[in-house]
Amino acid sequence: MTEIPETMTCIEIAEPGGPEVLQPTTRPVPQPTDSEVLIAVKAAGINRPDCIQRQGHYAPPPGVTDIPGLEVAGEIVAVGRDAGNWKIGDRVCALVAGGGYGEFVTAPALQCLPVPGTLSMVEAAALPETCFTVWSNVFERASLKPGETLLVHGGSSGIGTTAIQIASRLGARVITTAGSEEKCQACRDLGAERAVNYKDEDFVDAAKNFTGGVGVDVVLDMVGGDYIQRNIKALGPDGRHVSIAFLSGPKAEINFMPVMLKRLTLTGSTLRPLPVERKGEIAKALEETVWPLIASGEIAPVIHSTFPLIEAAEAHRLMESSQHIGKIVLIP
C-alpha cells in the first residue's frame, strides 16, 4: 500500500506564457470527496488543451485545481464512501478536469477505468483523454457506423492515432491527413486505408477519390479555419462534421448552400466542462466496447516519448513542435 504524504511535487503555471512558465512546486496532497478516489499517479498524459491552459486561454472549470493535466494512470490509495466498487490498490486510468501533473490526484469514481489487459502505466495514461474524446464525438455525436468513411485530420496526433484504430477496428473505412511521409506511414500502419500528406496533396480531392466521388460520411476536425469549408466539400450526402479543436483558429467563412443541399450536420464539443455523470456514461461505453479491444492488443496506444514530471516544460515544447507521433507522457 502506498503511504500518503502530506505534500507532493506537482507542476504549476507560474503565469500565462510559453513552456518555461511550467514550474515544479510543492503542494498539499488533495483529499477525495465522497464520490472520488485518490490516485498515486504513475504516469500522466499531455494534451493540447494543457498547452492552451498554460497560455492563459483555457481556464479550469470552477472548483477545479489550477494544476494542469487531464489524464492519469496509477494506483488508488484512498476512496470516498460513495466511490462505488473501487478499492485501495486498484490499478486505474482516469479522466480528470485538472491536477494530472502531480504525484497524487483526485478523480471522480465514475471517470475511472481499469488498466486494460497487461498495459503499462505509461500506456494506460495515454488512453482517457483521447478515448473519451473520440468515442463521444465520432461514435456518439457523429454516429459513425460500420461501413461508413471517416476523415481524420491530424492522424499522427494522440487523438488521430486513437480515432484511426477505434474506427477501423469497429468496421469503418478511414482516410487521414498528416504532415510528412513518416507520419502518413504511421497512420497506414494503424489502420488508415488512405493517408494524405497535406503539404503535397489536396485532401478534398483525395477524400472524393477515396469514396468514388461521393464524399466521406464523417469528418473529425481539429484544425478549424479554412479547413471547415474544405471539409464541407469533402463530405457526402447526410455527412457529419465534428469540430474538437482549432489549431488554425475558431473563425471561418462558410458557404451554407452545400450544407443545405447535402443535408450536412455541423457540430462539435469540448470534453472538460461535461458533467461527471455524462463522463461516466462515456466511460461505461468505452469499457464495454473499446476496452476489450485494447486488452486483446487489437488497439494499442502509440507512445512517442516520456519525460520526468519536473521536465514538463520540455514535454510541452515537443508537443508544440508537432514533431511527435502519438502521445507524450510524464512520469512523476
Q: Residue 286 has what pLDDT?
A: 98
The answer to whether 175 and 194 are in contact (CB under 8 A) is yes
Q: Give 236-264 pLDDT, tens digit per residue.
A: 999 999 999 998 888 999 999 999 999 99
Task: Judge whether residue 161 has pLDDT over 80.
Answer: yes
Distance CA 70, CA 67 (A): 10
Task: Judge whether residue 89 has pLDDT over 80.
Answer: yes
Distance CA 197, CA 111 (A): 36
For the chain, give the longest Cα–Cα distance: 62
Q: Give 25-81 pLDDT, tens digit per residue.
A: 999 999 999 999 999 999 999 999 999 999 999 999 999 999 999 999 999 999 999
In the chain, the amino acid numbered 4 is I
Give the cell for residue 310: 519536473
Task: Judge whether residue 2 has pLDDT over 80.
Answer: no
Q: Is 243 helix (H, G, I), strand (E, B) or coil?
A: strand
Q: What percent of the chain has pLDDT over 90?
A: 98
Task: Judge whether residue 281 has pLDDT over 70.
Answer: yes
Distance CA 87, CA 98 (A): 22
Task: Judge whether residue 279 has pLDDT over 80.
Answer: yes
Position 267 confidence tier, pLDDT thresholds 50, 70, 90: very high
Give the cell for residue 105: 490526484
Q: Residue 1 has what pLDDT?
A: 61
Q: Residue 178 has what pLDDT?
A: 97
Q: Hey, what domains does the chain have and what are their CATH numbers?
A: 7-127+274-331 (3.90.180.10), 131-268 (3.40.50.720)
Beta-ladder partners of 78 = 38
Element (H or E) spanning 249, and its range? none
Rg (CA), the chain: 20
**3-state helix, strand and coil shares in percent for the chain, rounded to the nearest 5:** 30, 25, 40
Report the chain's mean pLDDT, rounded to a whole number.
97
Q: Residue 249 has what pLDDT?
A: 84
Which residues have CB under 8 Å from 20's CB, separation 6+?
Answer: 313
Supply the pTM of this predicted model.
Answer: 0.96
Q: Residue 248 has what pLDDT?
A: 86
Task: Judge whether residue 206 has pLDDT over 70.
Answer: yes
